[in-house]
Amino acid sequence: MIVKIDNDKCIGCKKCYNICPMDVFTWNTETKKPKVTYEEECWMCGCCWMDCPKRAIDIKYPASLY
Amino acid sequence: MSLEEFTKNIIETDLLVIGGGTAGCPLAAKAAEQGLSVLMVEKSNTERSGNIAHGIDGYGVFPHGISIQELIPMWSERMTKRNQGAGRNVDENIDYMIFKNEWWAVEELERMGIPMKWDDGDYYWTPHMIHGKGLKLGLRVHWHDVKPKMARMCAERGVKTLNRVMIIDILTHNGAVSGATAFNTRTGEFILIKARAIAMATGMYCRLFDPETPLIWKYKMRYHYNPATCSGDGWAAAYRAGAGLAHMDDASWALRIRDDITNSYGNFVNNDGILAKQYYWNGKPASPYHANTYVGNREAEGLGLTPIYQSLENLPDDFQKRLEVNFLDERMVSLKLAADRGFNPRSHRYEMMSYKPLQMMMVQGISVDEHFQSRHLKGLFAVGDCAAGVGGAYGACTSGLIVGAEIDKYISGAAEPVLNEEKINESYERAYAPTKVKDGTEPMEMESAVRFICERYIGSFKSEGKLLEGIRRFNSLKREFLPELMAPNPHYQMRALEVKNIMELAELHLHGCLNRKETRGNYVRLDYPEVDNSRIDRLTINRIENGVPIAEKFLVPALKPEYVEALKQL
Amino acid sequence: MNEHYEEKFQFPFWEMIKKRAEEKDISYSDAAAEVCPEYCATIRYRDEEWTDAQIENREAEGIAEVQDSNREVIAKRQAGK
């Protein structure tokens, strides 16, 4: 998993869901948290990671991209 | 069906800007300042969209310390001759307009809140790709958070921005643009737009070849130079509406680095003037031929000299620090990724991968004149990477601002827009047919099939047998699988429409390569190793005329006498 | 050659950005915007003589992308035109 969301840190501001260029997130209206639904479409721009106000997103490269 | 029965989402605007990236945002902001009603539609979100979603470190090349007259051939040599070979590949009048207005554009951007200066309040100049004693042509910028600022400058000026809206088709009436069809990629709603003029700013075209690393079995969108969002939507829509596309029988290439421990996705921009050294695996310096060309790469591999590495070892600490700042400005996450790896540019080497075709580059795109107006479709303007012959952040912002400043002249004379219901129905079908398919083909499956064809049958080294097989396979793919392209939700509807655009343009590229029987620059036909002299100073334009696709040779304009004179006065 | 790839290097700039983000509880982008000018102030960007000398050293080693059209411009400059 390249993009991991720490749901404890996440405040549900929707920043990542709003700005992701590739639309990889969906929004869970019950939990009010984002979910990485289209992981294979992530282009690793890091915008979600750098704009999250709570630094709740971690981006780490998996083995196949190491 | 009447328009109103079709959808309640009909928007009227003076100017429709398609694409809210590096060119679209300045264009929309400037046009709004002229008092026009401006609607900007963006497939993602203008806060983080386009080629510089995550930032850029170099704004562009300027006639700084040299004249425009001197810069035009230097720029042409750097940007086109390596790839396209000798001859005039880009309309020099476009270069003239951009270089002439470049300083004005910088001042406009600053006025609108975009930072162009360095932290200490002055401009910071570096050798920009084009080296040579004392030449400092590159404006270096801190732009890791420029996109949110661009989104804000548009909002401040009353630009109406629709994010998560993807364009389907351009609508025309009496040979001029009259509007567009679009849909919301989250809700699936169909949208109709009436517009007196359209500025296409959708960037370049990629995704017909594999992304940046061969490790793509799972992650299929890792591109550089062109963001993964650029699937040629604007080019394809313009082509379908009758506009001409230039240089579709060409492709650019990238030298990729094996790992994402560089400024940006495994690509290495120059470190404020310091280039990397290149070594064979045995530590001996690698020749530029082996390191930097298709054919040379192949030879090096055959001689057992690969991998070839790049190195920034033994540099003063100051330049290592500049590299870190480069990382931030260009793509901050790559700094974090390199840090995770513990990679040390001071002592570690970057493994290079060979050149391979990647996407379309600056010479390609919608064919426009030096006023950025389509040569074939009235009322269609194209700016930035979307336009043939415009490139870089400087090209995007300058062309965008020029059009934003002048488009009111066209609009004041434009006819009342009339929307063609038949075309709207066709357009609706194009976008919504996949939503009605069950148990069909997923867009990514289709896209992978197209990319495989382009990689295997076009690739770096082209020849007739491969291209014919590629065309045969492409036709089978279209016939068997396009009708069952499936989109179970609006997100996949976006991907399905993207893959249709990708395919339409890939087909032009396939046939273009078959017809282009020469080797020139980085275009290699193994069966035609000589230059086709009838193509020097010319490019191919593909367009649809009276329903028939045609490909014509177009003489690339040299600098007009009045501009030559004007340059002498400067 | 393998050994030094195993040492884990820390980028000073990244460490500064991380620390600032955590101290102020802000995004990495906002923290970087603050830290960047501080870090840049420690770099000799404006020492043109020194910077040009480094670039010239590199060119002397044959590492530069000098084009034919550049050479013409440079030659003209040097001839005082």
**Mean pLDDT within A6-28:** 98
**Mean pLDDT within B469-494:** 98
Distance CA B26, CA B22 (A): 7
Strand blocks (E) in B342-470:
349-357, 365-366, 380-382, 461-462
* Pairwise CB contact (< 8 Å): C32 & A52: no
Size of interface B-C (CB pairs under 8 A): 127
**Residue B496: its pLDDT value, please?**
98
pLDDT in tens, B224-269: 777 899 999 999 999 999 999 999 998 777 777 888 888 888 777 6
Task: Name the residue facing B229 among A22, A46, A65 (closest C-beta).
Answer: A22
Is the pLDDT at B271 greater than 80? The verdict is no
**Residue B3: its pLDDT value, please?**
66
Paired tokens of B242: 């009758």
Domain boundaries, given as residue ranges, for chain B: 3-112+143-253+359-421, 254-357, 428-545
pLDDT in tens, B17-37: 999 999 999 999 999 999 999
**Residue C11: its pLDDT value, please?**
92
- Kindly indicate the confidence band of residue B331, based on its pLDDT and cuts at 50, 70 and 90: very high
Closest CA of chain B from A20, distance in Å: 7
**Residue B550: its pLDDT value, please?**
97
Are the beta carbons of B155 and B161 closer than 8 angstroms? Answer: yes
Paired tokens of B188: 């699936």
* Pairwise CB contact (< 8 Å): C29 & B335: no
Strand blocks (E) in C3-54:
none
* Pairwise CB contact (< 8 Å): B227 & A43: yes
pLDDT in tens, B79-125: 777 778 888 999 999 999 999 999 999 999 999 999 999 999 999 99
Looking at the domain covering B428-545, what would its CATH class be?
Answer: mainly alpha
DSSP B57: S
**Mean pLDDT within B53-71:** 92
* Pairwise CB contact (< 8 Å): A50 & C26: no
For B:17-46, CB contacts with A below 8 A are 44-45
Q: Which of A43, A55, A60 to mutate to test the interface with B (most CBs of B within 10 A)?
A: A43
pLDDT in tens, B389-428: 998 999 999 999 999 999 999 999 999 999 999 999 999 9
Q: What percent of chain B has pLDDT over 70?
A: 97
Closest CA of chain A from B509, distance in Å: 24
- Is omega for the bond preceding B345 within 30 degrees of 0, making it cis? no
Q: Burial, B409: exposed, middle or buried (Cβ in 10 Å; 0-12, 13-18, 19+)?
A: exposed
* Pairwise CB contact (< 8 Å): A53 & C22: no
- Report the CATH architecture of B3-112+143-253+359-421: 3-Layer(bba) Sandwich (3.50)
Alpha-carbon B565 to chain mean position: 32
Q: Which CATH fold would you assign to the domain A3-65?
A: Alpha-Beta Plaits (3.30.70)
3-state SS, residue B3: helix
Closest CA of chain B from C63, distance in Å: 7
* Pairwise CB contact (< 8 Å): B54 & A65: no
Q: Which of the given ranges, B190-199, B266-275, C49-58, has the highest pLDDT on average?
A: B190-199
For B:48-107, CB contacts with A below 8 A are 48-50, 53-54
Distances in whole angstroms, Cα of residue B18 to Cα of each of B239, B260, B545 = 15, 31, 23
**Residue B8: its pLDDT value, please?**
80
Is the pLDDT at B522 greater than 90? The verdict is no
- Tell whether C75 is within 8 A of chain B (Cβ): no
Distance CA B179, CA B188 (A): 19
Q: Burial, B449: exposed, middle or buried (Cβ in 10 Å; 0-12, 13-18, 19+)?
A: middle
Other Cβ atoms less than 10 A from the Cβ of A32: the count is: 12
Q: Which of B42, B46, B48 to mutate to test the interface with A (most CBs of A within 10 A)?
A: B48
Closest CA of chain B from C74, distance in Å: 7
Q: What is the b/e burial string over C42-67, where b = at least 16 CB atoms within 10 angstroms of the residue's CB?
A: ebebeeeeebeebbeebbeeebbbeb
**Mean pLDDT within B342-361:** 81
CA dihedral B352, B360, B464, B483 (to 10 degrees): 120
Domain boundaries, given as residue ranges, for chain A: 3-65
The residue in chain A having the minimum alpha-carbon distance to the alpha carbon of residue C31 is A50
* Pairwise CB contact (< 8 Å): B132 & C5: no
Task: Name the residue facing A50 among B50, B333, B337 (closest C-beta).
Answer: B333
Mean pLDDT for chain B? Answer: 92
Is the pLDDT at B528 greater than 60? The verdict is yes
- Tell whether B554 is within 8 A of chain A (Cβ): no
**Domain B254-357 bears CATH identifier 3.90.700.10:** yes
Say which residue the tokens 């995550």 belong to.
B54
Is the pLDDT at C4 greater than 60? The verdict is no
Task: Name the residue facing B228 among A2, A43, A59 (closest C-beta).
Answer: A43
* Pairwise CB contact (< 8 Å): C9 & B346: yes
- Tell whether A50 is within 8 A of chain B (Cβ): yes
- Kindly indicate the confidence band of residue C78, based on its pLDDT and cuts at 50, 70 and 90: confident
- Looking at B340-354, B362-376, B523-537, which range is the least confident one? B340-354
Element (H, E) at B540: strand B538-545
Task: Name the residue facing C66 among B131, B327, B335 (closest C-beta).
Answer: B131
Q: Burial, B6: exposed, middle or buried (Cβ in 10 Å; 0-12, 13-18, 19+)?
A: middle
**Mean pLDDT within B451-456:** 94
Is the pLDDT at B434 greater than 90? The verdict is yes
* Pairwise CB contact (< 8 Å): B49 & A43: no
**Residue B362: its pLDDT value, please?**
85
pLDDT in tens, C19-70: 999 999 999 999 999 999 999 999 999 998 998 888 888 877 766 666 677 7
